[in-house]
Amino acid sequence: MSYFENVPQVKYEGKNSKNPFAFKFYNPDEVILGKKMKDHLRFAMAYWHTLNADGTDPFGSGTLDRTYGKPDTMERAYAKADAAFDLMTKLGIEYFCFHDVDVCPQGNSLEEFKKNLSDITDYFKKKMDETGIKLLWGTANVFGNPRYMSGAGTSPNVDSFVCAAAQIKNAIDATIKLGGLGYVFWGGREGYDTLLNTDMDFELKNLARLLTMARNYARSQGFKGVFYIEPKPKEPTKHQYDFDAATAIGFLRANGLADDFRMNIENNHATLAMHTFQHELRTSAINGMFGSVDANQGDDMLGWDTDMFPSNVYDCTLAMYEVIKAGGFTTGGLNFDSKVRRQSYTPEDIAYAHILDMDSFALGLRAAAALIEDGRIDKFIEERYSSWKSEIGEAILADKCTLDQLEAAAGERWDTKVPSGREEYLQEIINSVLFSL
């Protein structure tokens, strides 16, 4: 009996279908802007939330059975892997992502953990060969164990740093072994709870050291993929060092890491930092740092990482608009780093949730493509900036002007009229296109 036995193969049935186990908008092989939907979207399943998270929250115990009918040994690890590949196959998800500790027991020593990780990745490899499913990225969980309570790369305790290094090395090895396209660093507990006990300068330098070592090691082992930073502003620490894309990019550049790293932007982390999802994607793109996406959505009324499955098609549309404008995913993809709600505790809910998110992003892709084909927004922007094509505009853009020269030109421009920003007109275009798909 399989965990997802009540979940059938999920197929595209079109928007009028009322079959809860069908896609209404995601039609994987349909071609949009010259590329198949599935190749635009590159969906990935997040092993941890999807297979491990049991609904425990700070106010109550787990509601979702995630034992897979097995004791907490490698037996469960294999059963869980079976469930994972079964789910991906049924949904047509072609990528997955994992932390080291998600996939096997940690055992009582580093040695045991290495052994377990080796065994389960052998099993993954076999499953991947059978199904064609690929690894979008790997990562190490260096925040959950009490040894990382004060951070890993930024711990005041050198031993924490050393242990994190060991875990990262093995997670990189596993990623390479499975042909992973990328390797992610999410901040975990790299941050502080109070500056009263923190040497922030020291900690940030050590964080750069750890990333540098990891990069050097991976490259020495032949890893050709991309490293990602996944920014987040708060939680679990009061201040996470990778606050947002601008902060992380500044940090990477200051530490000589910008060539190897890109951003893994999460919608929920963006909004916790009081940025839109679109803003974080744009910031990444214009800095040459666009990489991958964690698609989970937050609740703007709530101040923590709710990690909901994406359902807001406005967000999905503007995100896909940025993705397409940035040239589309190359090594990256759309990872569903999302949790079913604690009350949605049946295995079927996991399928419903993925159908929701895949359909939402399918709609987003359709709408983004339609907006680009429509062309009114692009044209509006071009016209709005057209005054820069004047003589003085081009001189400024060519860095040929001084303040004196501009002062001489200012008098006659003193009563200039800026063109209307037309925000409401543009919003109407969005709605017109979105609701005419």
How many chain residues are in contact with its own copies, going by CB under 8 A? 164
Q: How many CB atoms lie within 10 A of CB 184?
A: 24
Region binding its own copies by CB under 8 A among candidate stretches 1-9, 28-36, 329-337, 390-398: 390-398
Full DSSP string of 344-402: --SHHHHHHHHHHHHHHHHHHHHHHHHHHHH-HHHHHHHHHTGGGGSHHHHHHHTT---
Angle between the N-to-C axes of helices 423-434 and 376-384, in degrees from 0 to 180, rounded to the nearest 10: 160
Rounded (10°) CA dihedral 272, 26, 37, 260: 30
246 binds its own copies, rule: CB under 8 A: yes
194 binds its own copies, rule: CB under 8 A: yes
Q: Which of 71, 302, 373, 379 binds its own copies (CB under 8 A)?
A: 302
Please say whether the beta carbons of 142 and 104 come within 8 A.
no
User: Which residues in 399-418 contact its own copies (CB under 8 A)?
Assistant: 399, 401-404, 406-407, 409-411, 413-416, 418
Q: Is 99 a catalytic residue?
A: yes
Q: How far is the CB of 118 from its own copies (least distance, A)?
A: 14
Region binding its own copies by CB under 8 A among candidate stretches 87-95, 106-114, 124-132, 260-268: 106-114
Instruction: List the x/- string, 33-72, binding to its own copies by CB under 8 A.
Output: ----------------------xxxxxxxxx---------
Which residue in 360, 367, 359, 381 sits closest to 425, CA to CA? 381
Q: Is 86 a catalytic residue?
A: no
- State the catalytic residue, choosing from 40, 49, 100, 102: 102
Q: How, if at all, do strands 134-139 and 95-99 pair?
A: parallel
Q: Tokens 């006659």, residue? A: 412
Secondary structure letter of residue 51 according to DSSP: I
Q: How far is the CB of 82 from its own copies (least distance, A)?
A: 23
Instruction: Detail the DSSP E strand segments found in 160-254.
Output: 182-186, 191-192, 226-230, 239-240
In Å, what is the CA distance from 1 to each residue of 6, 34, 193, 227? 10, 41, 46, 38
Q: Which of 175, 267, 278, 317 binds its own copies (CB under 8 A)?
A: 278
Region binding its own copies by CB under 8 A among candidate stretches 66-74, 91-99, 245-253, 326-334: 245-253
Q: How far is the CB of 31 from its own copies (least distance, A)?
A: 20
115 binds its own copies, rule: CB under 8 A: no
161 binds its own copies, rule: CB under 8 A: yes
Separation CA 195–CA 215 (nearest Å): 29
Q: Which of 213, 328, 370, 372 binds its own copies (CB under 8 A)?
A: 213
346 binds its own copies, rule: CB under 8 A: yes
- State the catalytic residue, choosing from 99, 269, 275, 354: 99
The vertex-187 CA angle with 108 and 356, nearest 5°, equals 95
Region binding its own copies by CB under 8 A among candidate stretches 13-21, 90-98, 128-136, 261-269: 13-21
Q: Which of 178, 265, 355, 368 binds its own copies (CB under 8 A)?
A: 355
In Å, what is the CA distance from 242 to each residue of 130, 179, 321, 371? 38, 27, 25, 32
Paired tokens of 56: 């425990």
Region binding its own copies by CB under 8 A among candidate stretches 26-34, 123-131, 232-240, 328-336: 232-240
| β-sheet bridge partners, residue 138 | 98, 183
Which residue in 89, 46, 52 sits closest to 292, CA to CA? 46
305 binds its own copies, rule: CB under 8 A: yes
236 binds its own copies, rule: CB under 8 A: yes
Q: Tokens 């009490």, residue? A: 146
Maximum distance among all alpha carbons in the chain?
81
Please say whether the beta carbons of 316 and 288 come within 8 A.
no
Q: Which of 75, 130, 300, 373 binds its own copies (CB under 8 A)?
A: 300
133 binds its own copies, rule: CB under 8 A: no
Q: Which of 200, 219, 256, 379 binds its own copies (CB under 8 A)?
A: 200
6 binds its own copies, rule: CB under 8 A: no
Q: Tokens 């994987």, residue? A: 28
214 binds its own copies, rule: CB under 8 A: yes
Coil, strand, or helix at residue 68? Answer: coil
Rounded (10°) CA dihedral 165, 248, 315, 323: -90
Region binding its own copies by CB under 8 A among candidate stretches 69-77, 81-89, 157-165, 175-183: 157-165
31 binds its own copies, rule: CB under 8 A: no
148 binds its own copies, rule: CB under 8 A: yes
Residues with catalytic function? 99, 102
